[in-house]
Chains A and B, each alone.
Chain A
Amino acid sequence: MAEVRPHRMPLAVALLCAPAVLVLAVLAALGEIGAQAAAASALAVLVGTSALVGWHFRDVASLRHYVENLRQTWEDDAPVPAPPIIRSPGLDQNLGNVIAETARERQQRRQELRTFAARQQSMLAALPDPLLMLDRHGRIADGNPAARQLFGDGIQGRALSTVLRHPDLLAAGEEVLGGGQGRSLEFTLPGAVERIFTARLEPLDQQSSDSSAAVISFHDVTGLRRAERMRADFVANASHELRTPLSSLLGFIETLQGPAKDDPEGRERFLAIMLEQAWRMSILVEDLLSLSRIELDEHSPPTGKVDIVRVLKRVAAELELKAKEKEMRVVLSGMRALPPVLGDADQISQVFQNLVDNAIKYGHHGTDVRIIAEAPAQDASPARRSGADTLSVSVLDQGEGIAREHIPRLTERFYRVDTARSRSLGGTGLGLAIVKHIVNRHRGRLEITSEVGQGSRFTVHLPLAEPAARTKAAE
């Protein structure tokens, strides 16, 4: 039962009856009608008015109650209830229905808006490119999941300058927020892995509800730039390293054309040197090309299976002759049935060719070069994450060893501990760089230890093709 405000009704009744009662009282006083009749009529008027007013108020109260309830259903998203029936003659019978209609329409509109917003949100979330929304003050209003992945989770509400410090980007942001046109620029995010992005900044229509004033979208162009840079690097490296043998070749050719034209002995000697220089250039170009090819593919891991024992035996056989020239031996050990390694046979072969070749080059005369293969470890070795899913092959030599300060730089391109010696031994400076990149591609690890005056040990850890199969194979 709807509540009725107690003091309102009597007041209304009194007001409405007042004229009639007054008239009746005057008439009775003047004697036109009997006092009893007047009193009875006054009572009738009072009762009738009360009934009407009470009815009216009750309907109004129930309507008010209904509207209040509507507010509640709006919160709960419940369907709009039926309106109360209005019978009071003072109110339009349809008032209740109209109110209910309005409420339903509003609910529907809200529903539509919500679906629309959700759809937009899912589109933004699905975008692979990071997106940031900025508010008028340059603070980050929101970012899509890709942006959170790139910049971290706590970016909301922070000023742009505390997340991205690149001055060009900040300047562009200020210009766009200050009313400028949309613009794009390229910038680099430094770090362990350098990444290059093009950023597009666009101002947003000020009417948007969450006060976003601009949007920045980022596009990762690291791959593109890296490829360009590698191409440029290759040219630079090649020209730099080829210059020396080329200039020496030119010198000898000029000498043969001039002063040594009629000197057969000189000719013999010079031609031999020229041949050697030309060979060196040729090997260098081969190595550079090989390194380029490997680097280009480095990010895609190989899928083949390689029998490491067979590869090692073949490498040992190939280099046996070269070892004999220095009265050295290549000794294999640990060559039992080892599980296959995940990799590319040619590349793995190249790794060990380079390592054993180095060992022979730098090993002392008459010593042994040992190749030791170790089955996957049962205990946690310092190998990569899954220590038990890799096998390791070590190449040991008994040469002069490598001083500690050179070790971190050994795999650098063209890095040589002793330039003159390396050149005279026919080294290109690229052997270990090639090894490193191949091992990287195979998601393995290269470990170098050395003791000056005693020798060096190069260990390659390679992941197995089938981690689960190791228990069977390692017998």
Chain B
Amino acid sequence: MTLWLLIWFLYYQKKRKEEFSELLKEEIGKTALEREKFEMIINSISEGLYVLDKDGRFVYFNQAAEQLLGLTAEKVLGRMDCEIINCRDDQDNKLCYPGNCPLSLSWKESKTKFYPVLYFNRADGAVFPVSLMVSPVMGRSGPAIGVFLFRDITRELEIDRAKSSFISVASHQMRTPLNALRWILEMIINGELGKVNPKQKDFISDAYESTIGLTKLINDLLGVSRVDAGKFKLKKEPVDIKKLFDQVVFELSYLTRARNVTVENQINDCPPVVADSEWIKQVITNLTDNAIKYNRPKGNVLISNQIKGAQVVFTIADTGIGIPVDQQNKIFEKFYRAENAIALQTGGTGLGLYIVKPIIEAAGGKIWFKSALNQGTTFYFTLPLAKI
């Protein structure tokens, strides 16, 4: 009896072992298939993908990474990040594990980090621009791996540079003849090129104002094209905002005289704010230009500032025609002009305020206004104080 039991037990164990073996083979087969699928997917993407372990060593390197960097996975796996990739930012600072490496920063913040422009080098030493996304993967006891996804953005930067160059050249080519025309007309009006009778002066003044309008249109169109094209990288640096206001008031003095409006600039003792001086000057110009243009004869424009916490609030108040209540919600739309503004025939473009809002918001500020028909308009915008 015991013998039969023993034989049955051994037979059962053998069967179990065979079944288990089959199951194991099946699972290994499935895993291999899944891995093959995974490899096919990862190697089908055009972006370079590599993985670093918690010591900064390569543990995975896809085919696109091999092609983009001119390296094989074989040469890279097990080696340190900085031995292979000379990653630099746009200030030419080297980003190396662990120090200021994107992976260290993403582990520290436990979130994916995106770098729009960095520079990598190929195996042959050639440097090329990339955009990089780094995703940290945390294990039970802390950082486990980091997944790097990058792509070559050489072409995109070339297109950006071409757009910027076109904007610069177009603006110069349009402005130059306009300048000559404007200055000649100015000299004629002032009697510097001989006497003009009142009727001639009147018509020439109209021509002069047309050149001013055309100049503003060109400035606004170029501003809009830069905003729309995303050429809108605001610098964030301390700016002497009083100097910008003084410059704008000076540059608009021809308009102040023409409209018979008084501009009172009460910007005083304003500490530096964080802004991009070129773009913020455009904001100040557009708001002040509107305040003068849509004013009544012998009207006033008051420019002032107030510090509120970590922000400075700037105010540009006019005694002009105001904005009808039912049209106020459209005032920042592209090409929109309120009906009473159109009726005034100032030659406005409807672009000035369209540009102003995204600039202020990108600078970390806010813009708003109060207005009532025939009772003037007050625009407010904020900018952050520069930390000293």
Report whether chain A binds chain B. no
